[in-house]
Each structure stands twice: as structure tokens, then as C-alpha cells.
Structure 1
Amino acid sequence: MLNIIFTQRRGNSQGPAKTSKTNKTNILATAKTWVALCLLVSVTACANSPNSKALQESLAADPKLTETPLPVPVPPPATAVETSTTAKLPPDFPTEIPLYPNAQLIEVGPPTDPSQKNVRLRWESTDPVNSVQNFYQLEFGRRNWKIVSLPTADGQGALVATRENLRVTVSLSPAQKVGGSTEFAIDYSKDSPEIAASPQPNNSESSASPTASPTLSNSEGTAPTLSASPKSAKVSQQESQIPQQLRQYVADLTQLEVLKVRSTKSANLETGSTLPEPNKIVTRREYARWLVAANNQIYASRQAKQIRLAVDSSEPVFSDVPKTDPDFSAIQGLAEAGVIPSSLSGETKDVKFRPDAPLTRETMILWKVPLDTRQVLPTANIDGVKEKWGFQDASKIDSQASRAILADFNNGDLANIRRVFGFTTLFGPKKSVTRAEAAASLWYFGVQDQGLSAKDALEAKSKPAQ
């Protein structure tokens, strides 16, 4: 290529002078063209040579630019959102307020009244409404709360209770939801000025405390309803020991003079204005005596439903209850009527009654329910009792007692177990019964719409003889 250029230069130098400038321009243009061609040929020729890789890498983009992208603005992190559907109790929730065991907290509402710091908790349970109501009535009474008001028989209204500086309102829905669940609300407030101004009964002693007083029409065929009944504020020390939910039952039976107790100082039976030592364990002989007396007093005008007392000529059924026993007539009379198991009924071969042994829960129901139904007890098994009552300890119940317990369930809200023990999933069949609990079981005799209460008997006695 250089030879060509020099040749051209030599050839041009021999021409006229006027063409020298043009020739120089042509030579430079030709040189540039050949240089470009040479570079192109060199690159093409060395494409597969060892030096090609180095050349390509020198012309390639910086690899660091692909490894480290340009910084992009990052938005601030979003605030965490609670996705759990289970509400939690407020940190300052008062431990004095009982909580229904089979319920789930679904909402904690804001204060409905900021001035009183009133907080609402909404709950949901698979249990029926009456189970929730019975639980709170029993627990408030057991924990010494003052019950201000109760729901009506048809479930309207709320259960209001106070204790020291706390006021609690349990609002119950009269009917269950379509899915079978029950919703209820608990409103509570601390240091509420309304506590001091709670509604008081209209009597001469304004500090009276209304209690649950189950009332019945004094004619058979009307089911009992719960209503608030005023009571004297001057409650004796013995009466204050009675659980609040059982006081009215004990009071009515005491007025009927059926809860006769034998004093330790005397062999004679005594009846006072209230039940002595109400939380003392009741014996089998005491309950047998009260069972006969209560049935006969409540059915004073129904001779056909009374239990006949045994006479001296009767042959003792139990070896440990001879004719000389002060409670022979009542215990023997119950055995002869087939109310309690004995060798006469063929339900037991035990010849001992054990009159001074503690009365157990299952025995109390076994003796009492036959006087409610006046029929042969249904057949029952453990699974049947567990299905109806939901008792976790159903397997511990005696087979004979399970029949009476199952029949008691069919009596609805008038069931002895519900009246005496309230809501419970543990029956405790071998647990001893107190005097107050025994009295509560005797307050009502009969099945739904076909029974009478101690209150009915008192009203009948108060009417002038026709």
C-alpha cells in the first residue's frame, strides 16, 4: 500500500505545478481509505486469533455495571397489621369478674361512657342462653356480689351485679344464632358513681339487697319464673353464710318448718328462723327427714301425693335403723314407698342405710327425682348422661343414679341439678351435699307445668280457710 502511495506521489511530481495541490488531496483521501480497510481486515483476520479475546474484552462494557444496579428508592416498611381474629382481655381486666368457661372473646369495644370508663366485651359460646345465665347467677352469689337486677323469664333485660367499686352488666341474647351459638356481652366499670345509687327495693330498710326469688303461681300448671324480691338488709350471720342464689329457697322452706335440725344439746328436733350451719355437710338421715316433710307440706292439700310414715308394727328394712331410731318413721316410710332403694324394691341387697353418713350428690338426685316424676325411671347409660348433661365425669356415676340424673335433665330449668348446682360440666357424684344445697333441691316438686313449690305452699297457708 505504501508503494502505491509513493508511486502516485512520484507520478504526480512530474506533472504541471497547477495540479500539485489536487494530487496531494487525492493522496490523503486514498491513504485514509486504505488505513480504514487495513484495520477492518486486521480485525476480521484476527477474529479467531488468541488476541481477539483481549480485543473484545477491551471494547466490552464494564461488567461491574451489570453486577451493581443503580440504587432505586425503597419505600418505608408498612405498619404491621394484626391478622388474628381472637380478641384479648384488657390488661387491667378485673380478676373478680367470673368468666364463662366455654366462651370465646370476639370483641373488646371502646368505653361506652368515657366518664365512667365503661368497657364492653362481646363473647360467643356454643352453650344455650340459660346455661350462661345460670353460671353468672351462681358465680356472683358464690363470690359475694350484690345482684341488682335479673333478666325476665323470657330473657329480656340484663343481669347487673356490683361489688365494692365494680359494676358488671351481663347482657344475654334471648335466642341463639342460626349457627347454634350464643352471644352475650359483659360491660364493666370501675369507680362508677352509679354503684352507690343502685336501685333499692321499696321497703323501710333502703339498704336491702334484692335476691333471686323463684316464684310460682299457687295453682298447679304454671312454671316458675325468676324475679327480684326485696329482702331485709339485716341478714343474720348464719344467713349470710348461705350462697346468695340459694337463700330464697332456704328461706321459703324454713318458713314451712320442714328443715328441722336436731340440736347437739337436745335430742328433740328444732326449727329456727333460719337454717343453722348451712354449709355443714347434710347426713343421709337429715335429708330423708326433710324429704318426707317437704313433700308432705307442699302437697298438704293433695293426700294422694303424700308419703305415709311407717308405723311401729313395720318390720325394719335396714339393720342400722331400728324402731327406736328417731328417724325410723321417715326412713322406713321412704323405703316402703319404694322411693329409696332397699331390699323391698329389690334394687339393692344392702341391709344398711348408714344414716349418719354424708349425703352424696348422686344419692340426693336418686331419692328426689322419683318424687318429681312419679314414674318409673328411664333406662340410662354413661354415654346417654354424658350426651345430655355434658358431664366429664359421667363414668363415675352409679348406674342406678344415672337413671335419675337423666330423668332430671328432662325437667328443663326445673331440674334439681340446675337449681342446686347451676352450670357445671363436673357433677362430682361422690361429693358431699351441704344443708343449703339439700334445701334447694326440696324447694320444688313435680315436672314442668305440673308441680308446686315451697312458695306456693306458703301462699296457700296464708289464705284464710274457706
Structure 2
Amino acid sequence: MTVLTSRCFFKIASIAVLLASVSACANNQSGRNLEQMLAADPRLQDNSVIAFGNSNNNSNQAAANTNIQLPADFPAEIPRYPNAQLQQVTASQTRWITPDPINVVQSFYKNQFQANNWEVRPSEQEGILEAQRDELRVTVTIPAPNQSSTAQPNTAGNTEFTLQYTRDTTVATSTSPDASEQASVPQPGDPDFIGPVPLQQANSTAQTINNNTTQPTAAQSFNDINQVPQELRQYLQDLSALGVLPLQATSKSNSASQFEPNKTVTRREYARWLVAANNRFYVDNPAKQIRKASASTQPAFQDVSASDPDFAAIQGLAEAGLIPSFLSGSSTTVLFRPDAPLTREQMILWKVPIDTRASLPNASVDAVQQTWGFQDAAKIEPRALQAVLADFQNSDRANIRRVFGYTTLFQPKKTVTRAEAAAALWYIGTASEGVSAQDVLRLQQSSPSQATSESPASE
């Protein structure tokens, strides 16, 4: 006991001497060094939270945000800013972040809404953009930095904004003249459904093909229609009924023939069908028809001469600038390769300009990855990349959705079957304006006299 007491006394005395030394030497260099050694670590005061294991909160939060997915009911027709990352999902609202400035984001949505026939509504509150198309209403909130909102530039210089969307189901019923007509519109799950298309709008658009002046190609009746995949069968039936799938360029198809739907389609066949479908859909609208070239025209491709049975269609597409050639500035495209298989990216590259009737937008691999979600976007040719991005803006009427359904792999170099090529041609137009083979058939059935009255004797 005496020994322990002596040791404690010795330690206390040592501490007292040490403190006294520090105080005595406070004004010299040695004292200051000693004082710094004994001082508390300031980091423990400033970052006391670190001691409790919360130092990774920010990084964990950022990692968690990358795993956030869009809800299943997020409307595909809403434009998605290419350089934005999804941060939060709530009921009918999503929050995004982008390193781009506020004015760039505002300009993007304003231009996208106007270009895709949205009704842009003025808002009294700054930083809010409201738009509506059919029954879908969207509010984009991008407030200025001095406004109190989570949708503003944060401390890292990023811009946060929200997309709020609602569907007004009363719009379609209140504007429809006849509820029984509305019920006849194809619904999700039907083979020919391609999106929420009010019947009145489809009929008014398709009315441009009325009053036919020429008799189209005779309808085909393919005896191997049962070999067509079920989800594509209706498309092929409608197109064959219109006679826009000629198997031979120089002669009419037999009344019963083999279509061979699962066989790879060639580039010449698709070019022939593309011109035939477009001109049949717009038979009375010369401004939208693709003019076939005459035999006296200088060929655009070295391997498609004027004597080729498909020269008129292929040359016509080239002269219209719808397929790459030296006429459109592609100096390296001197061969068409008419009998080569058609690939997916070529099918979209040729078809989308006919749908949009406009120049293809600038595109990047990142933009296609963020819109379509394609894992193999980097494998798509640069020009085809533009067409793929433009096709996304057509929402449920996009060719890729209609032909291939939901997919995260585009497989741009994969060949296209004859049935898939036909499905791509079933609808021509954008999400807001266009015409389908079913629209043409409906008008033809409602005016049978126009479909049979054309003949040399009646001219």
C-alpha cells in the first residue's frame, strides 16, 4: 500500500513539474514545441462526426443515386435531358441533376416541346415550364439560383430540376364525338397497338390519303403468314392487303406466294418496300411522295446501274437524300451493295428521315445510352446514332419499339428479317402526326368505290 501511494505521488509530482516547465518555457521555442505536442488535435473538434463513422455519407448517397430507376409508368414521350442523372423518384415526379447551366436545360425542354407539337403554356412563376400533349401534362421546374427550392444549382455548381407529370383521362372522352368510336381504338395488348392514338386524330391524319387518283399495287395473299411472329403478324397482314410488299420489282406478285418472313431482307428489297409504302400511304399527296428516278439519270452508285430492276427506287432515295451517297456528301459511299443483308442500324437510318421529314439531330453515345439505355450504343455508326436518337422522340411510335419491343441491346450490326422490315414500314410519321397501314385500309374500306374505280377506261 505504501509503495502504491509513493508511485502515485511521484506521477502527480512529475505532471506538475512538466506543466510548470511548459508555463515557464512558453516564451521560448522549446516551450512552444512542447505545447504543440500536448495540444488537442483540431481535427477532432472540426470533424467530430467522423469518429462516429459518418464520413462516407456523401459518397454513399452519390452511389445510391446511381441505382435509382425511373418508375414503370414514366411516360416515354417526355423528353429526357441527355446529360442529367436521376436523383429521386416520388409519386408522379422525378428529380434530376446535371452539370449544365440552367439556361441550357430550359432551352432544351422548350425546344423539345415545340419541336414535338406540345402545347407550351405560359407560367407566371419564373423557372417553371408547363406543356401538354393529348392527355399528358408535364411541369418542368428549374428555378433561378436565388429562389428557395431544391431544383437549383447546388454548392458543386450543378443544376437540379424536377419533372412532374399527370395524365388527364377526361381529355380523350370529353373531346371525342362518339364514345363508341373511341372504344374501337386498339388498346395495349392488341397486335396493332402503337400508342395512345385518339381515333379522331388518326382519321384526320389519314384523310390526306383519300380521293385516290391511281390504283395501287394489287394486294398479296401470302400463304406462309402463320410463320410470322405473333407480335408482328398484324403489321404484315395490313401491308400485304395494301399491296406495298412487292416481292419482285418487275412483275406483280402471285395471288398466293411465299413471303418467307423469317428470311433476312436485302438492302434492295427494303429500299423497294420503303418507297412503295410511303407512296401508297400518301398516294394523293405529291409533296410527301418519293419520286422514282428515270433510267436516264446518272447512277449514284457504281453497282446499281439504270438497268437494275430496283434502280428507280434506290436512285430515288439517294436523290432525295434519304440514304447516304455522294449526292448527300458521303464521298466514300460509292457502292450500294443491293444484295447485302440489311442491318438494324441501316433500317433505322433510312426510315427515320421519312418519319420526321427533318434533318437528323446531333447525337452522342452518352445521349443514346441515357435515352434508350442501350448497353452497346458505342457500336452504332455515328450517322445511324443520330437516327436512333431521333427515333426515341417518337415515343411508342418509334420504329425500334414497334419492331424489337423492349430491349437494352440494339445490336446495330444484326441483320433484319423480312417480317421486322415490314413492321418498321407499318407506320410513317412522328409521335404527333403520321399514318399507319391500318388507317389506309380503314379509308379504303369506307370508300370502296375509290379502290376499284381506277382503270384505264375510267381515266
- TM-score, length-scaled by structure 2: 0.52
Gaps of 5+ in 2: 1-66, 77-135, 138-161, 164-188, 208-220, 451-459
Q: Give the percent of matched residue pairs that are identical in Structure 1 and Structure 2.
A: 55
In the alignment, is the contact (CA less than 8 A) between 2:239 and 2:422 conserved in 1?
yes
Partner of 2:376: 393
Output the amino acid matched with 2:390.
A
CA positional deviation for 1:131: 9.6
Output the amino acid matched with 1:364.
M
Partner of 1:329: 312
Q: Is 1:128 aligned to 2:72, yes or no?
A: yes
In the alignment, is the contact (CA less than 8 A) between 1:239 and 1:274 conserved in 2?
no
In the alignment, is the contact (CA less than 8 A) between 1:282 and 1:433 conserved in 2?
yes
Between the aligned partners of 2:74 and 2:270, the Cα distance in structure 1 is: 28
Q: Please list, as runs of the form range in 1=range in 2, the aligned pairs for 1:113-152 lying within 5 A after superposition.
A: 126=70, 128-129=72-73
Match of 2:342 among 353, 359, 362: 359
Partner of 1:212: 191
Note the alpha carbon deviations across 1:259-289, whole angstroms, 9 max, x for none. Answer: 11139xxx63525567611000000000000
In the alignment, is the contact (CA less than 8 A) between 2:222 and 2:256 conserved in 1?
no
In the alignment, is the contact (CA less than 8 A) between 1:219 and 1:456 conserved in 2?
no
Structure 1 residues 259 and 237: CA distance shift in structure 2, 3 A: closer
Q: Is 1:450 aligned to 2:429, yes or no?
A: no
Partner of 1:412: 395
CA positional deviation for 1:212: 1.7
SS in 2 for 1:314: coil
Q: Which has the higher strand share?
A: 1
In the alignment, is the contact (CA less than 8 A) between 1:341 and 1:348 conserved in 2?
no
SS in 2 for 1:213: coil
In the alignment, is the contact (CA less than 8 A) between 1:254 and 1:273 conserved in 2?
no
Structure 1 residues 421 and 274: CA distance shift in structure 2, 3 A: farther
In the alignment, is the contact (CA less than 8 A) between 2:222 and 2:259 conserved in 1?
no
CA positional deviation for 1:348: 4.2
SS in 1 for 2:326: coil
Between the aligned partners of 1:271 and 1:348, the Cα distance in structure 2 is: 40
Q: Which has the higher helix share?
A: 2
Between the aligned partners of 2:386 and 2:238, the Cα distance in structure 1 is: 29
Partner of 1:252: 238
- TM-score, length-scaled by structure 1: 0.51
Output the amino acid matched with 1:128.
A
Structure 1 residues 237 and 376: CA distance shift in structure 2, 3 A: same
Between the aligned partners of 2:277 and 2:262, the Cα distance in structure 1 is: 20
SS in 2 for 1:445: strand
SS in 2 for 1:301: coil
Between the aligned partners of 1:300 and 1:130, the Cα distance in structure 2 is: 37
Output the amino acid matched with 1:219.
S
Q: Please list, as runs of the form range in 1=range in 2, the aligned pairs for 1:186-335 lying within 5 A after superposition.
A: 212-214=191-193, 217-220=202-205, 238-262=224-248, 268-270=251-253, 272=255, 276-335=259-318
Cα RMSD (Å) of the superposition? 3.2
Structure 1 residues 237 and 459: CA distance shift in structure 2, 3 A: closer
SS in 1 for 2:238: helix
Partner of 1:27: none
Partner of 1:441: 424
Structure 1 residues 461 and 367: CA distance shift in structure 2, 3 A: same
Note the alpha carbon deviations across 1:133-176, whole angstroms, 9 max, x for none. Answer: xxxxxxxxxxxxxxxxxxxxxxxxxxxxxxxxxxxxxxxxx99x
Decide which structure has the larger Cα Rg and report it: 1
